[in-house]
Chain A
Amino acid sequence: MMALFFTMPSCTKLENENFSEFIAEDFTPTESDLPRITRAAYGDWRKVLLLWDGYWRVQEVSADQVVIPARPNGWVDGGVHKRIFMHTWLPSDPIVNETWYRSYAGINNCNRVMFQLESLLDEEEAAPAIAELRALRASYYYVLCDVYGNVPIVTDFDVPDGYLPEQNTRKEVYDFVVKELEESIPYLTEENNSETYGRFNEWAARTLLAKVYLNAEVWSGTPQWDKCIAQCDSVILSNKYSLEPDQKNVFVTENQNSNEIIYGISIDENYTTDWNAFDIHMQTLQPSNQATYDMTHTPWGGMCAVPQFIETFDSEDKRLINNFIYGQQYSSSGDMLYCTMGDLAGEPLAYINEIPSIDASQEIHGFRFGKFEIAMGASNILNNDFPLFRYADILMMKAECLLRTGYSDEAAQIVTQIRERAFPVTSGKAAVTGDELLQGSVYDYGVRDNNSTTFEGGGDIPYGRFLDELGWEFNQEGRRRQDLIRFGVFAEKSWFSHSPEGDYRELFPIPLNVMDTNSKLQQNPGY
């Protein structure tokens, strides 16, 4: 009777059915799988940039515009946010780890997909896809070159057991990125349409190459201003992109159709659902602001603008008005909002441009970030796409190179063009001259918190005024650290509670876990 319960199994066969994954060896992709495979490597960019402790935070919180001070509801977290701001990060800190692992995940994905394509398609068929993947891979190496400098270049997927990659110098990584981009550009599509959106078409690749050349002096020791201009010019001459009449349009919720975006990272609250997929608004707004936007989630309130940076703005600059949230806060129905925690619980919630110190602040302290439109009813994930490269950047890269190569007036024309969006025609403040661009920065550098005050100023910064222009235009876009390093400010100046820690901090250390697993790697100098 009991035997009925059983169909006697074959007596020594091991169960091998997998219901959720493919066994890599047995997987043969179909035609429709191909885009799923090739595009998988793009998904990593959003993670590199936006997930917790990602590249965005590396670039912004280590610089002079963004700070995460202690708040009544926390934000101490064992000092991690303070350490990134104070340039005292440890090789074991997540902020050091994440960019490495996420970038290499992207690189490994590129290598794997190329390996698969090469075995699936003939060379000619594969060429455009391979070129696109090489450009994409170069973009991840661009991040690594920027943050860690001396990283191993790995281009093979199929490596022998126990293979440990050799370290390359920052110069070698720079050369590699340049070479990869130059070689792949001829195969990339010139099209700019919804098909190519969020992919490396020729123009996205050229923008990336321009960016690499822009930083060539820092990364390779040799400036490449002219080469940068050449790449910018080819993008400009393609006539595929244009400036939005209002900068706001680039950052609205439905911004995927903006003609200013050259390479956008697609984000959708229903599909890109990792926790922290894109939540600058959650990190910056105070809890009461939930009512302002009728958000589904209560924001966590913490991150805000460094007061000295806000002070550099012209009060009429639309970018100050549009990109920041300040003053008394109201609910969507117009009711005044109040603080709910800390010493000011019950007081009106009105953001002021003042923070006592990185170690202590109340809900009202610091202007908040609102460049990316926060849609009414937003969830914990913003639906806005993230413009990694945009046309204004092409123009400003060209302007910077012109300025640095002695064409300050030509540079000023471009900068003026950008500024025209920010200032009402009547004010006359849009126009800027070559001479002005050659001046120092208006940023009033120096330690400025309730513990100590020093005055360093920014007047001594070469092309400092141009750096200010970059700050006004591109704040909150995950790039300030790179700009500060190029202008020699990053490891030299003090701001808010931060004071310089040493030049070596311009590079991040190789993460401790990585050092521990690859004996062939040398730690970056100073760490």
Chain B
Amino acid sequence: MPAVIIRTKLRQQFHKCNLKHCKSMKKNRMMLCRYRCSWEKTLRIMKISLVLLVFCGLTLSASPTKGQNQSVTLEVENATILDVFRQIEEVSNLGFFFKNDQLDLKKRYSLNLENASVEEILNQVLDLNDYDYQIVGENVVVTRKTSGFAVSPQQSSVSGTVTDAAGEPVPGVTVTIKGTTTGTITDVDGHYELNNVSEDATLVFSFVGMKTREVLVESGVINVQLEEAVIGLDEIVAIGYGRMKKADVTSSVSTVKSDDFVKGGVRDVGQLIQGKVAGLTVTSPSGDPTGNTEIRLRGNTTLYGTSTAPLILIDGVPGDFNSVAPEDIESIDVLKDGSAAAIYGTRGTNGVIIITTKRASGIYDAKVEYTGYVSTQQIANELDVLTADDYRRQINEGIRSESDDLGASTNWLDEITRTPVSQVHNLTIRGGDVKTNYLASVNFNDRKGIFLKSNKETFTARTDINHSMFDGVLKVNFGIISRNIKYGTTGDGYGFNGYTYRQALIYNPTAPVKLEDGDWYENVGAFNYDNPVARIKESEGENKNQWSRVNGNIVFNPFDGMSVKALLSYSKYNQTRGYYETRNHISTKRSGLNGYGSNGAIESIDRLVELTGEYQKTFDLHHFSILGGYSYSDNDWRDFYMTNQEFPTDEFGYNNIDLGQGIEQQGTSSGIGSSRSKTNLIGFFSRGTYSFANKYLFMGSVRYEAASQLWGTEDPWGLFPSASVGWRISEEPFMAGVGFVEDLKLRAGYGVTGTQPSASFLGVATLGYTGQVNINDKWVQTIGPTRNENPYLRWEEKKETNVGVDFAFINGRIGGSIDYYNREIDGLLWDFAVPVPPNMVGTTTANVGVMSNKGLEFLVNAIPVRNSDIEWSTTVSFSTNTNKLKSLSNELYQTEKDYFTTGGTGEPIQTYTHRVDIGGPIGNFYGFKVVDVDENGKWIYQDGEGNLVSYDDFERSDENKQVLGNGLPKYYASWNHNLRYKNFDLSITMRGAFDYQILNFERMYLENTKTTQYNRLQSAYDPVFGKAVLSNEVDLEYNSYYIEDGDFWKIDNITLGYNIPLKGDTFKSFRVYASSLNTLTITGYKGIDPEVTASGLAPGNDNRDKYPTTRTFTLGVNVSF
């Protein structure tokens, strides 16, 4: 946007703005209605102080406020008139308005005025022959007298009023003379005036949320009515290395703006867009406050687990979902298909998520926003295990041996859980003018989990500064993000150990928490059976990590249409962690540790250089752009750890680790470790777009890239091309008569993306120190092979075709898109089983797999009701995915076997849970099928040939296993609502997944009646198949009885907000809200939550050690000053 006006004031004021009018306007216009607050200037100074604080670490205090009519003292030397204005602004609460071409900046002033009134100063400064001024409220409008300024004869002045469709004046509309940087903005009455406008000029009226209009200057008065923009069409969306109008996009890109984010106590960025993007599955597979959401785009893309995460860019720099606070995000764009993501080459396969943080956006913003909330959680669905009373009843009934009664009554889950209270505070300040502006935000997030000692504290601070020089020829951006996370650990290096939760379920409810002598009750003889309370109380740890990023970019616009950009980023992650298990911890009793301490540290440095050049040109109806660039990024990772045991005291925990004697006594072969790795990624890329008459659109891109992970292979460089075309049917003449169609666009694209192996040196044979042997009574490290070589190793390559339609009807009241995709992933990495001998190890990492994912995505936005009191907008999305593993061999190694098994039940069942057949989908459960029980409660199986076989006769072999279901949902749907009634707003998000199965581990392990050493679920006594309680002679087993349908429909997020009508001057807006997350689930699934992990090769396993998912209730406020 061209610089149209120079304003020294840090904010825009429209003191006459009509409140009622404001409220009826769209939100983004409401920001323009500013009310004076008496301490506004204090805040301004605070803002500056904060910036200084961040950069210099200085402490400044805000200066006292000054009243409006107070006299001021001014002292300047050799200053321009602009400097004088700034000085006056500093000491008063006045703001100056003037046009940039009307001030004489050559004239210098030296003044020394004490306790003068503003008017006195102005009279002295402004040579009243040259300038006129007028004080309107707190605005000083300075104009140059026409008499003193030679106006060329062909130029005239133009004025007028801008109104909206309802005829109400619109303040703040930018009015520019086309092709120049000259312009103005409308005042509070929607009025504008421009001088020196040549008669053949065109005026451009633009305003956010309105359709831009261009009007030829034909008379001195031009009144303009602006129409509201159709939703989305003028929206700017982020594409790789640039931005584009949504209307011009030819690939599958989804945008979610902050207004549409999921509200309430979200855990990370992923949850903000849960259910908002068709084809993007966001799940929160656990309630762990240190955990993240899990995200998947258009199905499974990998076998090897190379990378399942999308590339997440935060303002152009790779990061993760925790890099910025959710409250600090302006919009999220998701590049879904191959043609959109191909410009990111090797990192594009899982999609690209472009996060745009809130920005200082120049002339309209000068404000402080505060967002804060408190929330609490509960287990989404508590499992019913036997209580102490149940135990005693069973003993009386003779079902259980008397030795099971240990005399106490303990609810173990209650003992380790709590009602957590979490809080989040976010403060954002932004301001500046069109030349220099800034944003600073601080975010404090204190999240508590439902389990004791399970928590996470995050403090994030961010600043972003923009400066534009030489009339916009050079723009500089500088940003810093600093994030500090601290969380308690009850596991070595990680937050909460889910195994402790398992213990709470299986622990004998008649066991006391503590013995009479104060010791914890423990039974070390039973496998995997620890007092859960003791596990938590006798361990103590803390992980702290600090991540900071400094990034800057310089954009050089040497001439119209050309821009050259250099982006530099340096980020550094540091973690320090410590963990201690006391001498009373079970680890002492079970493994003789006598106090276990652990310390560790990680340092990871990422550097990025990106150079891009872009040229855009429009002539006649043609528009084209071309972009070229180079990207270099590298990572340097180091870590250290040490562990020790045999501590003489628990007093110092892990903080005095040399106190332990473990290293001396146990030898140095364990206890100390360090590692380091360096990787880099180098890419060249280019993109061209061409459009004709805004109707026929084309985009093509190519990336040529190499990653160090492929070092040593025959060809580490890969080429990733893409092409896409679009046809805006709605722009065709024949559509002119179809009035209700705002937009109709057909899109088709094809693109290739890759995934690099995650580990380095997979292509070359390596030798390592592999163990110790005794030579002549000394132990020495031996050198042996650690990897087979595979010089043919290359990228996994995804080739994706995407066909789509974008549409908008009836003034944008209905809009949406439909996409069909077909992705074929070639050269999937797999630890391919190779024969031993001749290979050194049994697997070689090779590109052997081919997998396809096909699906349909459908998203419709509608605004069924919209009037001044009520607005209801709703979004429906639906997506499907079918997955197939087409091949698992390459030219070199052909396998006999057309399947592989994966997933695991864990001990003591010890078998795989899934099987992937070549030609079949990922996610098939594979095991024994039970169809009935006999009168004794023993399984009746159906064998591989369909015969019914009794429990005792059934042969438990692989041949008698069969497909029992599939863990990947075939359909996903969501239905979201936003309702506004007067000052109330209500949003509801709902989503579901259909046609898939879940293996319920809790039931599999805890419904068995033979296992006597562990507690079990109440449901263990429900008749199996409605017939008989499972026999206590039946071993634990993985079979079809524990596989359940997972289909669910969740009313996930409900948020009710109220905008408090404001009377005073203090607040610009004040909203309070109440919100719930994971509110209600409609499902037949008996476990805690049917939304289980869908990633990896064993989707649908609802693991017993999973931190239970939670329901969250939140109360919050959003305030802006």
Contact = CB atoms under 8 A, between A and B. Distances in A.
Nearest to B774: A266
Nearest to A274: B771
Contact of A22 (B767, B774, B780, B957): B767
Nearest to A23: B764
Nearest to A270: B667
Contact of B773 (A13, A42, A74): A42
Interface stretch (B62-70, B692-700, B735-743, B828-836): B828-836
A74 B780 CA distance: 38
Contact of B591 (A23, A42, A159, A298): A298
A5 B213 CA distance: 45
Nearest to A380: B591
A29 B783 CA distance: 10
B770 A43 contact: yes
Interface stretch (B483-491, B853-861, B891-899): B891-899
B607 A300 contact: no
Contact of B707 (A14, A159, A363): A14
Contacts of A23: 712, 761, 764-766
B526 A341 contact: yes
A16 B711 contact: yes
B1012 A342 contact: yes
B481 interface: no
A152 B837 contact: yes
B767 A39 contact: no
B2 interface: no
Contacts of A22: 766-768, 783
Given A21-B761, A165-B837, A341-B1013, A288 B682 contact: no
A25 interface: yes
A271 B667 contact: yes
Contacts of A2: 478, 550-552, 568, 570
Given A21-B786, A43-B770, A296-B592, A104 B836 contact: yes
Nearest to B791: A161
Interface in A332-353: 340-346
A29 B772 CA distance: 17
Contact of A24 (B706, B774, B789): B789
Interface in A98-141: 100-101, 104-105, 107-109, 111-112
Interface stretch (B264-272, B612-620, B903-911, B972-980): B903-911
A362 B773 CA distance: 39
B54 to A, nearest CB: 16
B895 A78 contact: no
A11 B682 CA distance: 7
Contacts of A297: 590-592
Given A77-B908, A101-B836, A517-B834, A14 B682 contact: yes
A78 B707 contact: no
Contacts of B403: 342-346
Interface residues of B, number: 94
B842 interface: yes
B218 interface: no
A69 to B, nearest CB: 13
A525 B526 CA distance: 41
A23 B524 CA distance: 45
Contact of B708 (A15, A271, A363): A15
B840 A6 contact: no
Contacts of A274: 771
B592 A295 contact: yes
Given A18-B766, A21-B786, A108 B842 contact: no
A290 B1035 contact: no
A230 interface: no
A39 B774 CA distance: 9
Given A20-B768, A77-B907, A39 B706 contact: no
Interface string B575-606: 00000000000000111110000000000000
Contacts of B550: 2, 5
B777 A194 contact: yes
Contact of B670 (A90, A273, A340): A273
Contacts of A20: 675-676, 768
B675 A270 contact: no
A24 B790 CA distance: 12
Nearest to B588: A296
Given A21-B766, A43-B770, A37 B783 contact: yes
B479 to A, nearest CB: 11
Given A9-B634, A164-B835, A298-B524, A14 B780 contact: no
Contact of B908 (A39, A76, A197, A301): A76
A195 B835 contact: no
A519 interface: yes
A78 B927 CA distance: 13
24 contacts: A5-B570, A5-B607, A6-B570, A13-B682, A14-B708, A19-B678, A24-B766, A43-B771, A74-B527, A77-B910, A100-B836, A108-B837, A109-B840, A164-B835, A197-B777, A268-B772, A270-B779, A295-B592, A296-B591, A298-B525, A298-B591, A346-B403, A515-B896, A516-B897
Given A74-B1013, A343-B403, 14 more contacts: A3-B568, A14-B710, A17-B678, A27-B767, A37-B783, A40-B784, A76-B1036, A154-B838, A162-B893, A268-B667, A297-B591, A298-B525, A298-B590, A379-B592
Smallest CB-CB A-B distances: 8 pairs: A296-B592, A270-B667, A287-B525, A266-B774, A40-B782, A516-B897, A24-B765, A154-B837
